[in-house]
Structure 1
Amino acid sequence: MSAARPSEATLRRLERASGALATQAVARMDDTLPWFRSMPADQRSWVMLVAQAGIASLVEWCRHPGRPPRLGGEVFGAAPRELVRAVPLKQTVDLVKVTVEVMEDRVTHVAEPGDAEALRVAVLQYSREVAFATAHVYASYAENRGAWDARLEALVVDALVRGERSDELPGRAAALGWATTAPVLVLVGHTAPDVDDLHTAVRRAARSMRAEVLVGVHADQLVVVLGGVADLGPVAERVSREFGPGPVVSGPAVDSLALAADSAAGALAGLRAAVAWPGAPRPVPADELLAERALDGDPLARAALAERVAGPLHATGGGVLDTVHAVLASGGNLEASARALFVHPNTVRYRLKRATELTGLSATDPRGAWTLRVALALSALDGGRSLWA
């Protein structure tokens, strides 16, 4: 601070004028800052409080020049934390600039004779301190907000992993900027051991394709929630590159985040069972692992095989079902199947086409044949206690 500091008489006059100066500063903000005019009345009143507190802190600083100003508590503490959320840093700089300009303009009216220059210098030096304090307040808020966001994101992802189906989940995710309704899917795999900031890498990959994303790590498992685009397949394929070695499984797409626990359940069950399919694509849809999941004891997969595969085949009658059994027994040889059934090979082809239409699986495709075998075997083991009836 300058050796020639404002006199006590000038500081007392400045104290008495603090309310009027704050009012003039707000009036000038209203005249010169279009965005300020559109602010709600409560936020405008907070700005008034901050301006008055700033002037009072200036007086105290001038009286004790060796003590650094406590701007965080004395000035910015005059307004609630909501003001930091409502007013971006750039706009806050504009507010400080206008307030300093008003104080500079009123120096000659406030200062005692011969004190104007000392007060002007004090105002300029103090405005520099305010600028540093403003940056610190916003940096602290950003740091705290980042930590809070990370905790909230972890809670949301953890809830999905635990199977929570709650209408509160979309609200929690909305606080993180999540605006997606449908579709949503969950992608799971193992973490990459050599990546320091896995969360950032995954977010960058998803957002490069304009997708919304939530990320969580559970032990050595990486759980990613994707949404925001109509076709999430390419997004899942891109994000899967950020996972560590091993399978990556995508759960079925659901209509909202409130239902994403269903997608997470399928993906996690698929990840446990994927070891049984060494050549699985990456990512592999959980529904393509129904056979492995059923053998692993997943009741949802077993019910899905009954409903989607065994049930429709049994409902068609003996011809189609017997043909599927014959083709599976012959290793996919249609001619041998036709001889075993005493029918023409074209009849076998027709019946297989019908079976594929019903189940989405082909008995002549290795993966389709495997899934059909497991579904029909489980159906036989049920011994008539069909899940599809």
Structure 2
Amino acid sequence: MSLADLVGLAPDALRDPGPVYDELRAKGVHFAPEVNAYVVASHEDVGRVLRDAKRFSSTITVGNPPPSPTDDPNRLRPLLLLSDDPVHATRRSIVNRAFTPSQVRSWEPVVRRIAVQHVEALRDAGDVDLVERIAAPLPVRVISALLGVPADDVDQFRSWSEEITNSLGGHGGDPEKRARVQREFTGYMDALISRHSGEAGDDVLSTIVAADRAGELTRREAISFTIELLIAGNITTTHHLASSIKLLAETPGLADRLRAEPALIPRFIEESLRLESPIQGFYRLALEDSVVGGTEIPAGSRLLVLYQAANRDPAAWEQCPHLKLDRSNAAAHLAFGKGPHACIGSSLARLEGIVVIETLLDRLAEITLLTPADEVPYLASFINHGPTSLPAKLVFTPSAAA
């Protein structure tokens, strides 16, 4: 199995890219024509590039060419993902106001209420698809609630965000449909921001609206900010939850151990993120001649920086292909990136993972996956990663409160 298989979206490579990443690490940093970029795959080299934002720019990534003065005003451009300091630092400081540790902790009741609703809805439902019924709808409900989106609009939000992200690391797609979706999404968010009362608040939307009205953000930037957070809080977390549920269900004895030692659930979430990173990697642009892993990188070159390959690096992890709940460096993975562009919503994603697993363990005695492991379908993308369907038979715990 090779990089060509992964980029070509071969099902086996999408399901388990581990052998591809082993081969890429063994080659060291090298130019790969399949992605028109230098591939960076070791834990040490990936971490170095991610931390060195002065030499390796985020202003270019797959599917998003550099901005142009003639850009369509409805075109959505991620403001955090595709900017460098000092602009990035200024923009990120605005969102940081809504993602303080205490603020994220305060969202736990919202996340738990939504998780319980979704799990309880499966009682007596027979065989169900755990991606369709839990992993996909839950994150968009959570982030929509935090943004003040009416419940009736959540399904539309999910559809918009999936359409916008379906080209990341994939192929095809309808440009006209994507343009229409962006116009609809932009118009909706413009109206939502305009309707906001403007009263001070610690929630995400209030923070963005305050910045908009204080002149810290233009209205176009405020709209793009809100949509970027919605998509990041939806699609990536969906893949994270789907992979965590799959690991929980298919690992012998794991559910019993976590029920007996619930304090290990956060460690399980970290291992799930390491083993099945929802984002496989991103592109960077070399701003100057550099050397990475002993390989010369000319200025202007693209680098494909592979988080998941780094997280499977045996130089960084003992028994790296295996799930281990006693790792002392459990949270040292790069699933959320590193450095200035580390995922701003990582604490919320972790919280959602912990709460969903706690809820499943509390209310279900058994989760039996109905699709053989080597037939589980995965997202057709070499950037985003996660199972797209998990049919399962559920047995509820008799004592679980309805």
Q: Same fold (TM over 0.5)?
A: no
The interval holding the TM-score normalised by the smaller chain is under 0.3
TM-score, length of structure 2 as denominator length: 0.23
Which structure's residues are more often helix, by fraction? Answer: 1
TM-score, length of structure 1 as denominator length: 0.24
Asked which structure has the greater RCO (Cα within 8 Å, sep 6+), the reply is: 2
